[in-house]
Chains A and B, each alone.
Chain A
């Protein structure tokens, strides 16, 4: 859960470990109004720790200042609040694709003969699919590609790309399937069949923790992929912010965006923990028995 703190901490460590004045690293004086002003703004004088704490406190108060360079003068908070829903939608839609893959595999709807094809698709890097997606968007939506429908199409295509590229879909399908295959070799499954029960009813609670873990890892992977997809498809999400900030060396934006990514990841960790507890409770379920006199 301390992940959101780890990220800025690591970055801070990095800045102070690099040669040169942290202030001019964070934002060169000729941009940020003289080192003193800058030092005051980022409380750099107290060294790494104070800078880090100062930043955390401001962040807690949702004070991220304004963008230096990427969108000079626009409040970073505003940029973030505009970006987060977009990115979350993107990830959510992509997750739907991935989960569908998992479910289809679990239910055995996907024929195993398709595996080679699925594996192959999994090899395609996000960049390539994103480029194709961009071409598609531009051919279909053209001039209106920034209208609301165009924007949604970008999101949809982006989600599709994310969900399929870099082995997201194939990983979900093959991973889920192999998990179930291993479980189905357990003897109790065979017995369940002889008892007229469906195997999946029996195995699901037992494989759930493993599946949840896999799914969390996959969503983190999607987050990482969203950077490329958002930039190529010109989706104004966290990824675009992070990338733009990196190019323009807009430290405030990058620090905030990176931290937000970390926040999302740790939310996922929490979600995983909660789900696992729920499964454990489900497994322990049993009717209360009162002893007969």
Chain B
């Protein structure tokens, strides 16, 4: 996938996600007993669930659950990355050492464990994907800062800045355009995109586990369906002997996951330096 294609793909996918989130209905449609578990060929475009409701609503509501938290988490990580890079360029040894230390500690914690503990301690009324997504972002941040710092190091850190100063560039121009714009961009955007993907996967995992135990979701209002609902609905079709024809839901769920992954890659590629 070359850069311009990546750019287009990234744009489209983010656009689609946002659009889906925007048009997602507040509640699922009414039950239609006469079109239960219809395949996409019978009921366009995605088929129906066990109550005869179109899976389109599942897809859009799932997008709505993810879109903003994932995006914000991605941006957060990217910003942290930029910060890390700039700190290395404005090279205060103590700060950098401190970053190293934090990275060590945070990096040593299994993320899922932290997420679950946060989920446990959050009061019900505050339960949503946002706090979890941001926790994830915070856990991912040190890594991003580290990588960005490494890039800055390769540039020559503070010496690079001095050199540009010598050329008479203004500090803001040096940091924003040369350091961030030209050099950090590829790294931090890729990190951000990966975080978005991970948050999406996290949501689906948490929702699925809650569904499997018939518990209220950690991540979204129960009036909304997560993409995990598609996996849950489609899963029995994996065991042929159950002759449960909900395969289309599984396919749709996997398709959406695939799209998320592809988009993350695309965004990363799109941000590559020319």
Contacts and interface: CB of A to CB of B under 8 A. Distances in A.
Direct touch of chains A and B (CB < 8 A): yes
B210 A220 contact: no
**Candidate in A128, A249, A269 with the most chain B CB atoms within 10 angstroms:** A128
B213 A224 contact: no
A224 B113 contact: yes
B120 interface: yes
B4 interface: no
B143 to A, nearest CB: 9
Interface in A206-247: 217, 220-221, 223-225, 227-228, 231-232, 239, 242-243, 245-247
Given A19-B123, A127-B208, A131-B231, A225 B112 contact: yes
A220 B235 CA distance: 29
B166 interface: no
A96 B205 CA distance: 25
Nearest to A249: B120
B127 to A, nearest CB: 12
B238 A265 contact: no
Interface in A1-32: 3, 6-7, 11, 14-15, 18-20, 25
A257 B239 CA distance: 33
A93 interface: no
Interface string B92-112: 000000000000110111111
Given A11-B117, A228-B205, A246-B116, A3 B105 contact: yes
A39 interface: no
B150 interface: no
A126 interface: yes
A32 B257 CA distance: 42
B252 interface: no
A268 B110 contact: no
Contact of A135 (B209, B215, B238, B257): B238
A14 B215 contact: no
**Candidate in B109, B111, B210 with the most chain A CB atoms within 10 angstroms:** B109
B121 A18 contact: yes
Contacts of A3: 105, 108-109
Interface string B19-52: 0000000000000000000000000000000000
Contacts of B257: 125, 128
A-side interface size class: 35 or more
Contacts, number: 104
B261 interface: yes
B105 A243 contact: no
Contact of A220 (B108, B204, B208): B108
B67 interface: no
A242 B113 contact: yes
Nearest to B111: A224
A274 interface: no
B123 A6 contact: no
A232 B211 CA distance: 11
Contacts of A247: 210, 213, 215
A42 interface: no
B201 interface: yes
B55 to A, nearest CB: 18
Contacts of B107: 217, 220
B113 A258 contact: yes
Contact of A223 (B110, B119, B210, B261): B110
B174 interface: no
A227 B116 contact: yes
A114 interface: no
A194 interface: no
29 contacts: A3-B105, A7-B109, A11-B117, A15-B121, A18-B121, A18-B123, A20-B123, A125-B257, A126-B201, A127-B208, A128-B231, A132-B238, A135-B235, A135-B239, A220-B107, A221-B110, A223-B110, A224-B113, A227-B110, A227-B112, A231-B212, A245-B120, A246-B116, A254-B117, A258-B113, A258-B116, A261-B109, A265-B110, A268-B108
Interface of A: 3, 6-7, 11, 14-15, 18-20, 25, 123, 125-128, 131-132, 135, 138-139, 166, 217, 220-221, 223-225, 227-228, 231-232, 239, 242-243, 245-247, 249, 251, 254, 257-258, 261-262, 265-266, 268-269
Interface of B: 104-105, 107-113, 116-121, 123, 201, 204-205, 208-210, 212-213, 215, 231, 235, 238-239, 254, 257, 261, 265
Ranked 5 nearest A-B pairs via Cβ: A224-B110, A135-B238, A223-B110, A224-B112, A125-B201
Given A128-B254, A227-B116, 11 more contacts: A11-B117, A18-B123, A126-B201, A127-B204, A131-B231, A132-B238, A225-B112, A228-B209, A231-B209, A232-B208, A251-B120
